[in-house]
Structure 1
Amino acid sequence: MAIARGYKEFELVPIFYLREEEIVAKLESRVNEADMWLFSGQVPYAIAKAWGGVTKPMFYVTYEGSSLYRTLLQIALERKWNLERLSYDTFRPSVLERTFAEANIQAKPVHVKYYPGVISVKELSDYHEALYRGGRTEGAVTCLRSAFLELQRRGVPAFRVLPTVASVESVLNLILRAKEALHFREAQIAVQMIEVDTFLGLIKNKFVTDELYKLELQVTEKLLRYARKVRGSLKQAGPGRYVIFTTRKLLEDITGDFHFVPDLEDLKIAPGAITCGIGTGTSAYEAETHAGQALLHAHGQGKGSWMAFFDDNTIVGPLGHPEQVAYSCAPETLQQTSHDSGLSVSTLSKLDSVLKKIGHREINAHDLAQHLRVQPRSARRLLLALEAAGYAEVVGESNPHPRGRPRRIYRVNFGDSSG
């Protein structure tokens, strides 16, 4: 809170808890109060994510980097413990090993309890205590406050990793960039590709050409009024097919964040008469392509279905159905890499495109940053995340400037993981 107060962009809404069991209840009563959510660590974040009631972007303070370095230094100065005879939690083993190597610590973390999601205080405390009582460790290093207090209560020597100013500022700056990205996303081009079955609007056995033509004119008038409501432009793309160009934000508002079909008089023609595909993209061409793919998926769901296809290769729909689902159309290799590394499929798709463009799988952070138009440290974090998950490995170094820091060259492979 003290650090965040230094950022004029934030209006802070603190929510405190003592036990993890309180988190969901506190979130339920205040879930609509924030545009972004920042959690104090991985566990409360995982609890909120598993609950599923938070629809806004969520972040948590990490305990890697400077936070971990500070704790290891504190242990070395105060206790002079053998770092191999400590138990650790939260961190991936590869992250700890890399931290030790970078700090020139001649030891290897042996006892590590890594958990990617929710974990109980009892399970975590039992793990550390069993090692300590069995004489295998001298103490514990934990990131969870409640586990630290429980270990103290049980008489197990423990250190708690606390976030440094740098780690908090890092996530606050990430939130600011995410807000900018969200604004960009809301302003993205969105396309609705609509197919209207005018025959459903005709009375059975009373079909005549003039009636069909009249009904088509009425449909066009209705869609023009609807297009004005979403501040879009309407064009006809063939018999019974129409395309509306607008923005993602306007469609999010009118569909309840792509959860239901707009209940507008302008769209009421006949039950099941309108089938729609919505697409978003960074260009009009990409958005229209995605809208066409969404329309094909809508046809697969039956007449009158609405589906949405986003620029991160996810599909949502059918809109308005209680059994609405979201799934990815990205290759399975990227989906698995995303799951293992914590990186989004969209980011991985961009990286894959860069590698295909340059014609090989080796790249350094500096070159990747130029291709992705991001800061070198962001590209470095991306490559480190892939390395930790086993999808990248250091294969060499380059030093374009004799006095500069050598640049690590990574080989990236989404199709194989050793992690």
Structure 2
Amino acid sequence: MDRLRSEARSRVAIGVVGPSDLVEEIMMIGADLPGAADWRLVGAPHAGEHETYEKFSRIADSIDVVLFTGPLQHDLARQAGELPVPATHVPMSGASLYASLLRGVLTQGIDPARVSIDSLPAADVDEAYGEIGVSTEGVHLSEYDQPESARGFAAFHEQLYRQGATTAALTTIRSVAGKLAAEGVPVLRMLPTSHTLRLALNTAALLGTGSRLEESQIAIVVVELAASARPTYSGPGNYWQQELKLSLHQSLLADARLMGATVTARDENSYVVTATVGALAQATDGFRVAPFMDRIRADAGVAVEVGIGLGTTARDADSNAMVAVEKARGVGAAAAYLVGGDGVVLSLPLRQRRRVESEPVVATKAAKLLERLVEALGDGPLVVDAETVAEVLEIAPRSARRVLQSLAEEGLAWPMPPVKGTQAGRPRQPYRLVKG
């Protein structure tokens, strides 16, 4: 049993979200593809588009990537809340139009030159009709443009049919097909071809694999006391130096624990922090701000030079970290530097404080929410997740996630590395609240 669990974890878990018939077809196709041994499919069929995000949320903790059965499902999920894993969708194309038209001609006697079509791009429809030698003059099209456009598809088709302008409707959306059929409008549902589904599965597998590789890469961070902060002499009697080292070590540990990193002394004036790239990316807002520097300045009152090295091996990451810290020395601890495994160099600025003591503090909505959360937590740790926020503010989990996102955007909360729970699956996303 343990061996089977280990094998399941080693495979990329692909979530499949959409109508039950398409989810079932993708699951069947995926089981027979050459790459099936490298991935594990997790189906989440819905009965209606309004359930898309709910179904996704139920499997989000157990997958590495999600494949939505169409752009509508993808967009609905993005509008409803955060997507904690990479996401892609089955593309719409004119390839599905051929089979639908042929099926309509043979089974319903429709006239392909007098139909209404939704979702597909105009260029794909023109190309498909051009290849079968049929004019599009009597073909009516309503292209997909975000979920709002899909809400009018049923009325678009029905009105044209009632006016006698069309002989049938072709739609990609299951719920639209159901509504039209109930109203007596001849309707054909356009489904993606098996070839399109195979390509979409391969794309999802690549996204999931890439995400895993990125998260498992090694990141080594060298943190050095700036030259101006170093003592003029060292030795057993220099208690100030010992206190400084202790303070520096404690500040590093405070952030390192949250990202599952290790901290070791490198010499009298520097430390080495070892983490995964995924964990460090979370702690630095996707490598947009320098790690550790702001906390150390606040806790220890000294400036540090920070160099970050990435690599697939510890040796490569360490070598890149030394190059990066040398660059940090050249700017006087004004920013951290990162050197990636491909040699790319990034400058990571200090996290800017949102308020200056001399400026009046404006009580924004986000600040009031932060105040409520801090008050409710009392003397407890200022680290929360969506579940905690939902309970404290008495709101839905979806709204709680939006609250945390808004706090992070305002600089009032920092997204931390995911924390593993007691049950199997992906970890929860905690945030550390930042008091002014």
TM-score band, normalised by shorter chain: 0.5 to 0.7
Determine the structure 1 residue equivalent to 2:411: 321
Decide whether aligned partners of structure 1 residues 27 and 162 sit closer, same or farther in structure 2, where only a CA change above 3 A counts.
Answer: same
Decide whether aligned partners of structure 1 residues 18 and 5 sit closer, same or farther in structure 2, where only a CA change above 3 A counts.
Answer: same
Alignment partner of 2:51: what SS? helix
1:291 Cα deviation (Å)?
9.4
TM-score by structure 2 length? 0.53
TM-score by structure 1 length? 0.55
1:225-281 Cα deviation digits (max 9, x unpaired) = 769963699989xxx998867641342577798899999xx9684379679797879
Alignment partner of 1:141: what SS? strand
CA distance in 1, matches of 2:112, 2:56: 38
1:408-419 equivalences in 2 (<5 Å): none
The code of the aligned residue for 1:117 comes to Q
1:87 aligned onto 2:123: no
* Contact 1:193–1:291 (8 Å) recurs in 2: no
Alignment partner of 1:83: what SS? coil
1:98 aligned onto 2:127: yes
CA distance in 2, matches of 1:257, 1:299: 13
CA distance in 1, matches of 2:304, 2:354: 11
1:156 Cα deviation (Å)?
1.5
1:158 Cα deviation (Å)?
1.2
CA distance in 2, matches of 1:196, 1:91: 59
Alignment partner of 1:177: what SS? helix
CA distance in 2, matches of 1:65, 1:241: 60
CA distance in 1, matches of 2:345, 2:244: 22
1:107 aligned onto 2:135: yes
1:59-110 Cα deviation digits (max 9, x unpaired) = 2223425423322332344455443422111111122223333x34332374
1:32 aligned onto 2:32: no
Q: Please, which runs of 5 or more residues in structure 1 have no aligned partner?
A: 304-316, 326-419
Q: Please, which runs of 5 or more residues in structure 2 have no aligned partner?
A: 1-26, 325-337, 356-406, 416-436
1:115 Cα deviation (Å)?
1.9
1:144 Cα deviation (Å)?
0.2
1:39-188 equivalences in 2 (<5 Å): 39-64=68-93, 66-79=95-108, 81-101=110-130, 103-108=131-136, 110-119=139-148, 122-188=151-217
1:234-249 equivalences in 2 (<5 Å): 247-249=276-278
1:129 Cα deviation (Å)?
1.3
1:280-359 equivalences in 2 (<5 Å): 284=320, 287-288=338-339, 293-295=346-348, 297-298=349-350, 300-301=352-353, 321-322=411-412
Decide whether aligned partners of structure 1 residues 112 and 65 sit closer, same or farther in structure 2, where only a CA change above 3 A counts.
Answer: closer
Q: How many residues align?
A: 302
Relative contact order (C-alpha < 8 Å, sep 6+): which is higher? 2
The code of the aligned residue for 2:214 comes to R
Decide whether aligned partners of structure 1 residues 209 and 172 sit closer, same or farther in structure 2, where only a CA change above 3 A counts.
Answer: same
Alignment partner of 1:31: what SS? helix
1:208 Cα deviation (Å)?
9.0
The code of the aligned residue for 1:230 comes to A
1:125 Cα deviation (Å)?
0.3
1:293 Cα deviation (Å)?
4.7
CA distance in 1, matches of 2:305, 2:80: 33
The code of the aligned residue for 1:106 comes to V
CA distance in 2, matches of 1:115, 1:19: 18
Q: Select between 138-147 and 221-230 the one with higher mean Cα deviation.
A: 221-230
* Contact 1:259–1:320 (8 Å) recurs in 2: no
Decide whether aligned partners of structure 1 residues 319 and 133 sit closer, same or farther in structure 2, where only a CA change above 3 A counts.
Answer: closer
Q: Select between 276-285 and 123-132 the one with higher mean Cα deviation.
A: 276-285
1:126-157 Cα deviation digits (max 9, x unpaired) = 11112222232222110000000101111221
**Percent of aligned positions with the same letter in both sequences?**
24
